[in-house]
Structure 1
C-alpha cells in the first residue's frame, strides 16, 4: 500500500488487529441491525430462499446493501481520521491513495483470475454458452442474471463493499501498524474468511433446525470459510502488488460469476473431451501460478 515511510502512523500491531476485527464486525453486524435486513425463517418449505423475508427477497437484499454501504463508509471514515491525525497534507487524497482508488500499476493483473478458470471456460465453449456462441442468450445469460437484485448483490455491490472493507481498509490499518507484506497476506484473509461464518446460522435455519441441518451448516461453513480465506489471500496479494483496488475487485466479480469449478459434471457431460477438459484445467492452473511471479 502506498503509504509514506517517513510518516508515523498512530497504530500499533495490536491496534491494527482490533481495527480489522472492528471493520469486519461492523460489516457483518450491519446486516442484522436493520430490521428489514433480518432474515425471517419458517419450518415450512425450509430450503426455499426466494420468499418474503428470506435471503434472496429483493426487500431484504436492498436493506442489506444499504447496511453494507453504510458500514463501508464508516470503515473509510476511520481510515480518513487516522490519516488526518498523521498528516495535514491532503488527507482526502491520501485516503483515496491508501484505499487503492487508482489505476493499477500492472493492468494484466485484472486478467489473471480467468486463467484458473480455463477448464470451466473451455467446458462452456463446448456447451456453446460463451458470449457470441449459438446457445448464448443475452436475455437469459446477462439481463436475467445481472439486472436483478440478486445480481446486483452478487456481482456489483457485494464484491465492491467487501473489497473496500476487507481488502482496502483492513490492509490499510495493517500497513499503518507496520505489518510486513506477508503478515498482511496472512492476517487479512482470516478476517475475510471468518466474516462468512455467520452464514452457518442462515443455513441451519433454512434447512429446518434439525441435526441434518446442523451438519449441513457446519460442513458448508467450513468449506466457505476455507475458500474465502484462500481467495482473500489472493485478493490481498493483488492489491499489495498493484496498489489498486481494481484487480481484486475484477477477480472477485469474475469468481462470483463462475462459481466453484464442476469438473466432475463437465467430464460426465462431455465424455469425448475428458482429456482436453482435464488439460485445460491443468494448463490454467500452471499459467495462473506462473503469472503470480510477474
Structure 2
C-alpha cells in the first residue's frame, strides 16, 4: 500500500519541479530581454536614434537566443514533441496565410470606433484615411524613422517571439493552455516596469505620476498580452500576434474621452460599441483551429485542452 503512495508523491514532486523550471525559465527570458536594454550605458533619452539602434540589436540577439532557452527547458523538464523548436514557438508554414490575415482583421474590427472617429475628423473622410494609409511617400518616411521601426517592427517581432512564442510552450505543460494565456502576460506586463527607471532619471514627473502611468501601462500590456497569447494558442502561429501587436502600436489606445465630447457623439459611441460587440462575436470563429491546422503548442497541454 505504501509503494503506490510513494510513487504518487514522487510524481507530484516531479510536476512541481517541472513547474518551477518553467517559471524560472520564463523569468530568465524576461530578465534577459529587459536587461539587454541596459547593457548600453548612455545619458541620452530612449527615443534618441543611437539608443534605439543599440537596444534593437540587444533585443534581436535575445530573441535569437530564445529557441535555445526553450530547447534547454525541454531537456531539463524532460519534454519531447514531434515538431521542431521553431514550430513549437509558432514559426511554421501550415496555415500561415490565414494566420497573417484573420487575427489582424479581428483586431481591426475592435478598432471600428476609432476608425470612424478618425474618418469623421478627416476633411476627406474614409477616402482621405485610405489614401494616407496607401501613400508610398509616407511609408518611405516611416521606414527611415528609428522610432517607427522600433515600435512597428522590432518591438512586435521580438516581444511576441519571446513573451508568447517562447514562454507559452514552457508554461502550458504546467498550467494548461487556458491558465497560460493569463499567466504569460504577467511577465510581459512586469517587463514594462523598466520604464520607471528612465522616467525617474529624466525627472520630468513626480514619483506618484510615474507609478500611476506605470500601473496603467501594466494593466494595458497585460490585457493585450492575454489577447495575443489567446491568438497564439488558437492558431499555433506567432505571425498573428506580431501583426496585431504592430497594428495596436500604430493605433494606440482608443480615445473614448474625445469621442464623448465629439459633436457626433451618438454615432461615434454606436461605432465604438459595434466594434466591441463584433470583436466578441468573431473572436472564436476567426481563431478557429480549422483555418490553421493543429497548433504544436497544444500537444504539450494536459487534458482538457479547452482553448486548443
TM-score (norm 2): 0.77
Match of 2:167 in 1: 170
Question: Is residue 146–residue 155 contact of structure 1 (8 Å, CA) maintained in 2?
Answer: no
Whole-angstrom CA distance in 2 between matches of 1:110 and 1:103: 17
1:133 to 128, 134, 144: 128
Match of 1:293 in 2: 284
Question: Is residue 104–residue 242 contact of structure 1 (8 Å, CA) maintained in 2?
Answer: no
Match of 1:205 in 2: 201
Residues 130 and 229 of structure 1: CA distance in aligned 2, closer, same or farther (over 3 Å): farther
Offset at residue 24 of structure 1 (A): 0.3
Offset at residue 27 of structure 1 (A): 0.1
Residues 285 and 146 of structure 1: CA distance in aligned 2, closer, same or farther (over 3 Å): farther
2:21 to 8, 15, 25: 15
1:196 to 189, 192, 198: 192
1:97 pairs with 2:101: no
Whole-angstrom CA distance in 1 between matches of 2:94 and 2:226: 18
SS in 1 for 2:91: coil
Match of 1:181 in 2: 177
Whole-angstrom CA distance in 1 between matches of 2:155 and 2:85: 22
1:33 pairs with 2:24: no
Question: Is residue 34–residue 67 contact of structure 1 (8 Å, CA) maintained in 2?
Answer: no
1:220 to 208, 213, 236: 213
Match of 1:233 in 2: 226
1:124 to 95, 118, 121: 118
Q: Please identify which structure carries the higher helix content.
A: 2
1:148 pairs with 2:154: no
Offset at residue 104 of structure 1 (A): 6.7
How many residue pairs match? The answer is: 264
Whole-angstrom CA distance in 2 between matches of 1:15 and 1:292: 32
Whole-angstrom CA distance in 2 between matches of 1:133 and 1:226: 34
Whole-angstrom CA distance in 2 between matches of 1:219 and 1:205: 17
SS in 1 for 2:193: coil
SS in 1 for 2:243: helix
1:114 pairs with 2:114: no
Match of 1:255 in 2: 248
Residues 68-113 of structure 1: CA deviation (Å, up to 9, x unaligned)? 01111222211234456758998xx611110101247454223111
Match of 2:304 in 1: none
1:74 to 51, 55, 65: 65
1:55 pairs with 2:49: no
SS in 1 for 2:45: coil
Offset at residue 29 of structure 1 (A): 0.4
Offset at residue 132 of structure 1 (A): 4.7
Residues 34-75 of structure 1: CA deviation (Å, up to 9, x unaligned)? 33xx4x2xxxxxxxxxxxx11111000000000101111222
1:245-284 alignment runs, 5 A limit: 245-268=238-261, 270-271=262-263, 273-284=264-275
Question: Is residue 160–residue 249 contact of structure 1 (8 Å, CA) maintained in 2?
Answer: yes
Residues 253 and 217 of structure 1: CA distance in aligned 2, closer, same or farther (over 3 Å): same
Question: Is residue 110–residue 246 contact of structure 1 (8 Å, CA) maintained in 2?
Answer: no
SS in 1 for 2:276: helix
Question: Is residue 52–residue 146 contact of structure 2 (8 Å, CA) maintained in 1?
Answer: yes
Unaligned runs of 5+ in 2: 1-14, 286-308
Question: Is residue 99–residue 172 contact of structure 1 (8 Å, CA) maintained in 2?
Answer: yes
Residues 88 and 172 of structure 1: CA distance in aligned 2, closer, same or farther (over 3 Å): closer
TM-score (norm 1): 0.81
Residues 246 and 88 of structure 1: CA distance in aligned 2, closer, same or farther (over 3 Å): closer
SS in 2 for 1:28: helix
